[in-house]
Structure 1
Amino acid sequence: MFHKVQDVKAMPDFILKVDFINGICKYYDIKPLWKIWQPFRALEYTNGLFNLVKVDVGGYGISWNDELDLSCEELWENGY
């Protein structure tokens, strides 16, 4: 079962506020990804990029551009 994303908002300190269609809100810290996937470092170093986050069509994930995205299940499983 997919936990589709309804809305996402960039918060201070590289935290995402993620609202799911089932009414649950979770927070997701991007910083640990910097150690795992080098491309995510662009969110720290490219001025304004982090704030460009948007929900993908259908709510199956979020993205910043064609290279940086996260699935709805990643956000659900590792959000708090």
Structure 2
Amino acid sequence: MESYPRIKYLEPLANYRLFVIFDTGDIKVYSLAERLQSEPFKVLQDEQLFNKAHIANGGYGVIWNDEIDLSEYELWIKGVEVSKVSELVEKVPAF
């Protein structure tokens, strides 16, 4: 089984995006825009709840509560890699 980098740093961003730095030093932004239309992610449309995102023990994912989480795999595979702050605007679509 292939392993993926673990999450070292996480910051919720505007427009339901997550700014993630992995233990490899790679920086990615993951948008939850599409997932917000389906369960159990629909409740994350509440920005206060969305902003409570935190890193799971060991960096193996992101957790909001007992029902809502994302794996480091999901963030690694589907996140958009950025190397400069300016790329956040260029590469990552707004909600």
TM superposition score normalised by structure 1 = 0.91
Structure 1 residues without counterparts, runs of 5 or longer: none
Which residue number corresponds to residue 12 of structure 1? Answer: 14
Larger CA Rg, structure 1 vs 2: 2
Contact 2:4 2:76 in 1 (8 A): no
Structure 2 residues without counterparts, runs of 5 or longer: 81-95
Which residue number corresponds to residue 56 of structure 1? Answer: 56
Rounded Cα–Cα distance in structure 2 between residues aligned with 1:10 and 1:65: 15
The number of equivalent residue pairs is 78
Structure number with the higher helix fraction is: 1
Give the alignment's Cα RMSD to 1 decimal.
Answer: 1.1
Rounded Cα–Cα distance in structure 2 between residues aligned with 1:13 and 1:51: 11
Deviation at 1:47, TM superposition (A): 4.6
Instruction: State the percentage of identical aligned residues.
Output: 35
Q: Which runs of 4+ in 1 moved over 2 A?
A: none
Which of 22, 25, 28 aligns to 1:26? It is 28
Rounded Cα–Cα distance in structure 1 between residues aligned with 2:47 and 2:5: 30
Deviation at 1:2, TM superposition (A): 2.0
Deviation at 1:54, TM superposition (A): 0.3
Structure 1 pair 48–38 and aligned structure 2 pair: CA distance change class (3 A): same
- Equivalences for residues 41-80 of structure 1 within 5 A: 41-44=42-45, 46-80=46-80
Q: Which has the higher contact order (CA 8 A, sep 6+)?
A: 1
